[in-house]
Amino acid sequence: MATGVTMTLEEIDKKYVLGTYARDYTNFVKGVGATLYDEAGKDYIDFASGIAVNSVGHGNEKLANAICEQAKRIIHISNLQVIEPQAKLAKRMVELSGYDMGVFFANSGAEANEGAIKIARKYGETHFKKKRYKVITLEHSFHGRTITTVKATGQESFHTPHFSPYPDGFSYVPSISDVYDAIDDETVAVLLELVQGEGGVQPFEKDEVQKLAAFLKEKEVLLIVDEVQTGVYRTGEFLASNLYEIEPDIITLAKGLGGGVPIGAVMTSHKEVLKAGDHGSTFGGNYLSTTAGNTVLEILSEAYESGRLHETLLYFETKLKDIAAQHEDLFEKEVGLGLMRGLRAKSTEIQAAVIKQAMQERLVVLKAGRNTVRFLPSLTITKAEIDEGFKRFEKALISL
């Protein structure tokens, strides 16, 4: 029944949406490229891209047209029928990766990691005389919000008793050098991010990753690389695995693959492991999401081949390193790869103040672990937008 009382957007949100997020109540109503506009028409430079999701920016005309045209024809049918754009996206992803793999489509990074763990568990059941099921991950890792992927996440703060008991079979080690001694005769896989995103935008060294990959191959322990954030050209190559010159057994993707349309994917060279009925998804890989994925990869692969993407990465990196050098009182160092970057603040208080003040200057940046201010701009961001964003960031730092 109508009460005659008009509620604000903030009041509606707080009354009807579960409070699982510490919201900022800026109401964005439009986006163009790497620029957002609020309801008052004020512009904000977006160095977050929806946490690495809006890979081709806001309001990308080619992506919007493809989604609209597909929506007019078919949005969704079940996976019991063949889905043309799904098959074409799988082919495109495999060809871009350079690996001989098959693809399963889901709706998110957490779902992709669940699928990867299921593949590993079945491999461990069917490939060895004695069942293997244990998965080793690294401290500071992040792999999702489901019960299983929370347990796979190597951060004790996520393992609260509220959601226990958790699935067993997961353990964490401080560094890659500690993986070797942690493997036993029940270990089936090692799951890692090549650049830990939530864990502080922290890349691992290429040689130690390559050494681990070779060791695991020799021991028949699967290497699962979580590329939910690093994939789809975020680090400069289609996959960070390509950049590190390794061939994982299983790779997971999500975030930037759909340019904002929810999609996740598991790629694996062990194409024979899952049989019909072993795994599935109602929405995974439907017409809408895979049409978006195909279009995003068309846009980004062209940017990669033309060299524009590489130029953008270098330009952004140079700007960020200049900021770090000029503000050694606030930041310990600059970290990251490609357009997945961060500034390691000297304290949690500095990190929080920087993020808050940046928003005051109409610049969107993100928080990450290890006191890191995180930058994840769209891969199609222009030099003019980068310049304006860092101009605003500088103003934010000066006003602290």
- 264-302 per-position pLDDT tens digit: 999 999 999 999 999 999 999 999 999 999 999 999 999
pLDDT value at position 235? 98
- 124-144 per-position pLDDT tens digit: 999 999 999 999 999 999 999
Q: Is the pLDDT of residue 375 over 90?
A: yes
- 18-33 per-position pLDDT tens digit: 999 999 999 999 999 9
Confidence of residue 5 (pLDDT cuts 50, 70, 90): confident
Domains (ranges, CATH) in the chain? Answer: 63-305 (3.40.640.10)
Averaged pLDDT of the chain: 97
pLDDT value at position 190? 98
Q: Is the pLDDT of residue 122 over 70?
A: yes
pLDDT value at position 1? 43
- 333-365 per-position pLDDT tens digit: 999 999 999 999 999 999 999 999 999 999 999
pLDDT value at position 3? 58
Whole-number Å distance between alpha carbons of 333 and 357: 20
Report percent pLDDT > 70 for the chain: 99
Put simply, whether the predicted model's pTM sits higher than 0.95 gets the answer yes
pLDDT value at position 35? 98
Rounded (5°) CA angle 292-119-237: 45
Q: Is the pLDDT of residue 2 over 60?
A: no
